[in-house]
């Protein structure tokens, strides 16, 4: 019989420990300490309790946990001395059926890894979907992680151990993340469409109004109809819009969604997760024959990334009246104007102005998004509540000194433009860290016509400065520009500076943020509040209506805009559950 929380919470300490046997390889101390936190409100609560035990353990205990695990396809597997859990996992990943070449390669990696780190390579081989990674994925991950810093690799090993324990716990409870699996599968199927050139390389790239982009729109619209949306359309800019009607005609709508375009060679979950999570919720409402006091409008925004044309947030911007007609004359790399691309796609340009929404008809906008950063991953937390989308300012600049001979120019007589920019970069690193949640980046740094034996006379660079509030952002900008002036004067240099972008911060609406907080707490997960350093469609809708976001933990250190971008079916399930909680909370409120 599957284990239940009621059974676990009511059991004696000895019985409870026996019920959790095998979750962490040869390490019962983790479950034993976590059980002191009973009663558990959910499996997620139990998982977090165990992860915190490991997190607060000393280094020797953590290393002991890692070393308690067997090598992949190693001596223990050959000798058939693995635990039952490890045997099942390695078998499901096909490691018991390696070819001689695969087996030899894994043994080489095992030796190299142990020599570098002093402990076995740990990987949750059942993967983010729970179905098992391919041997190719396992070997590629093995080789990639050999390059990690030792301290980072300890943390990565522990994170994989927690994922292994999460899957084993689900097995004990016979708890299948059904909706999380569906959301995962939708994203996998949508990723079958990629722009020419990238598709041949196995890379995901979907830019505005390409064949792959239009195919994605069609798939999303078909799935929306399958989910039971009452109205589905592809609008005048290519947004896919699904509307699930309220119980009473004329009631307001809750708007949600995210974008389905991608960066070049990007990940499968950036944006798209925020479309499919609410779609799963609507499907469950439809299956139950249930209507809410408000409608639900889910939008797959056609363009957010600004890859094919310089028109970032085109999809969500059109809904607030911010479509710039000048964009229509922009040309892509092949000389195709946006106007031509829209006409080829069958979009009605004359209807774009009609897309503008009346905020009085909406409760607000909520968005689910993969975090695109390492914070939740490092804290072993599946969900984070966004407090604000950072405001940002960008500059393009050039430091100008004097190019001179690298061998004959004494160090105290140089007018080195590159060193001045390097000094500024170090200041930005220190100054942004003072705030705790500000960030500053020099992402572009170029010495035009540079040579190995020439002191740089010019250095072109960019500045990207962000913070959760406009006041904090502006203080950061002021200090950085003051330091830029000081450095230039002190080194006898001059500079040019041009502001290229300014975006206001988008603080979450307190009421909607509180709904996310209540939803996360109801799942038994600690409520963690965090700003969003990246821009999102929510920041455009923020200009006309209340908004709030929920972040979902990313795997592989939260990397995004990268093929390694990933999250798990369990975390997707929690996102669906949290969204459902928000819908129920809003349904209980008096409707105007």
pLDDT at 81: 67
pLDDT at 401: 98
pLDDT digits (tens, 9 = 90+) for 569-578: 999 999 999 9
pLDDT at 78: 66
pLDDT at 91: 78
C-alpha Rg value of the chain to the nearest Å: 26
Per-residue tokens: 42:
């959910």
The half-sphere exposure of 152 on its side-chain side, counting CA atoms within 13 A, is: 9
pLDDT digits (tens, 9 = 90+) for 63-96: 999 999 988 877 767 667 678 888 778 877 778 7
**CA 537 and chain centroid, separation:** 14
- What's the Cα-to-Cα distance from 18 to each of 4, 8, 27, 321, 487, rounded to whole Å? 14, 10, 12, 61, 65
pLDDT at 420: 98
Specify the 3-state DSSP secondary structure of 440: strand
- What's the Cα-to-Cα distance from 334 to each of 128, 331, 340, rounded to whole Å? 38, 7, 12
Output the 3-class SS for 250-261: CCCEEEEEEECC
Give the CA dihedral 19, 23, 24, 30, nearest 10 degrees: -40
Q: How far is Cα 34 from Cα 54, in angstroms, rounded to an integer?
A: 10
Specify the 3-state DSSP secondary structure of 439: strand
* pLDDT beneath 70: ranges in the chain: 76, 78-79, 81
pLDDT at 440: 97
Per DSSP (E only), the strands in 216-347 are: 231-234, 240-244, 253-259, 295-301
Q: How far is Cα 369 from Cα 493, in angstroms, rounded to an integer?
A: 44
pLDDT at 291: 98
Q: How far is Cα 308 from Cα 210, in angstroms, rounded to an integer?
A: 9
Per-residue tokens: 384:
């984070």
Specify the 3-state DSSP secondary structure of 55: helix
**CA 236 and chain centroid, separation:** 28
Instruction: Write the Ramachandran bin of 200: left for phi over 0, alpha for psi from -120 to 50, otherwise beta.
Output: alpha
pLDDT at 74: 73
Do residues 41 and 30 make contact, with C-beta atoms less than 8 angstroms apart?
no
pLDDT at 501: 85
pLDDT at 276: 98
Q: How far is Cα 266 from Cα 481, in angstroms, rounded to an integer?
A: 33
pLDDT at 40: 98
Task: Look at the block and give the residue holding tokens 């999809």.
Answer: 315
């Amino acid at each position: 019989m599957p284990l239940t929380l009621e059974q676990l919470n009511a059991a004696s300490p000895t019985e409870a420990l026996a019920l959790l046997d095998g979750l962490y390889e040869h390490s019962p101390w983790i479950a034993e300490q976590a059980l002191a936190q009973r009663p558990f409100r959910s499996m997620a609560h139990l998982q977090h309790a165990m992860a915190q035990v490991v997190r607060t353990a000393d280094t020797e205990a953590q290393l002991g946990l890692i070393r308690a695990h067997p090598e992949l396809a190693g001596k223990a597997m050959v000798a058939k001395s693995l635990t039952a859990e490890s045997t099942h996992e390695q078998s499901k990943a096909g490691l018991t059926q390696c070819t001689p070449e695969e087996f030899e390669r894994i043994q080489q990696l095992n030796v190299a890894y142990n020599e570098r780190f002093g402990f076995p390579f740990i990987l949750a081989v059942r993967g983010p979907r729970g179905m098992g990674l391919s041997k190719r994925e396992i070997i590629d991950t093995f080789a990639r992680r050999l390059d990690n810093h030792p301290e980072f690799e300890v943390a990565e090993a522990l994170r994989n151990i927690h994922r292994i324990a999460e899957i084993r716990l689900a097995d004990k409870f016979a708890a299948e993340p059904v909706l999380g699996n569906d959301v995962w599968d939708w994203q996998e199927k949508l990723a079958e469409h990629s722009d020419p050139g990238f598709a041949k390389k196995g890379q995901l790239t979907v830019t505005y109004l390409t064949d792959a982009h239009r195919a994605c729109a069609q798939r999303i619209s078909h799935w929306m109809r399958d989910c039971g949306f009452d109205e589905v359309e592809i609008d005048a800019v290519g947004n896919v819009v699904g509307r699930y009607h309220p119980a009473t005609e004329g009631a307001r709508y809750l708007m949600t969604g995210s974008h389905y375009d991608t960066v070049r060679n990007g990940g499968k979950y950036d944006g798209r997760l925020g479309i499919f999570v609410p779609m799963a919720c609507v499907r469950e409402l439809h299956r139950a024959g249930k209507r809410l006091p408000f409608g639900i409008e889910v939008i797959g925004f056609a363009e957010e990334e600004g890859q094919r044309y310089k028109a970032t947030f085109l999809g969500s911007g059109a809904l607030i009246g911010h479509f710039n007609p000048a964009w229509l004359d922009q040309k892509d790399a092949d000389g195709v104007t946006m106007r031509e691309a829209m006409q080829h796609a069958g979009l009605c340009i004359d209807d774009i102005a009609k897309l503008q929404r009346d905020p009085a008809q909406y409760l607000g906008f909520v968005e689910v998004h993969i975090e695109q950063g390492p914070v939740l991953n490092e804290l072993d937390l599946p969900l984070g509540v966004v407090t604000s989308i950072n405001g940002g300012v960008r500059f393009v600049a050039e430091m100008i000194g004097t190019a001179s001979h690298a061998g004959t120019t004494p160090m105290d007589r140089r007018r080195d433009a590159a060193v001045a920019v390097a000094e500024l970069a170090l200041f930005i690193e220190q100054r942004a860290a003072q705030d705790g949640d500000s960030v500053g980046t020099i992402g572009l740094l170029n010495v035009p016509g540079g040579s190995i034996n020439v002191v740089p006379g010019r250095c072109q660079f960019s500045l990207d400065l962000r913070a959760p509030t406009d006041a904090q952002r502006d203080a950061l900008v002021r200090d950085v520009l003051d330091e830029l002036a000081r450095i230039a004067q002190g080194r006898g240099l001059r500079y040019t500076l041009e502001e290229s972008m300014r975006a206001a911060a988008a603080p979450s609406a307190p009421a909607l943020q509180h709904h996310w907080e209540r939803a996360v707490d109801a799942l038994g997960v600690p409520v963690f509040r965090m700003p969003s350093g990246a821009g999102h469609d929510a920041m455009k809708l923020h200009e006309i209506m209340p908004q709030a976001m929920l972040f979902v933990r990313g795997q592989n250190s939260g990397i995004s805009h990268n093929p390694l971008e990933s999250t798990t079916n369990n975390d997707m399930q929690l996102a669906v559950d949290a969204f459902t909680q928000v819908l129920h909370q809003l349904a209980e409120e008096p409707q105007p």
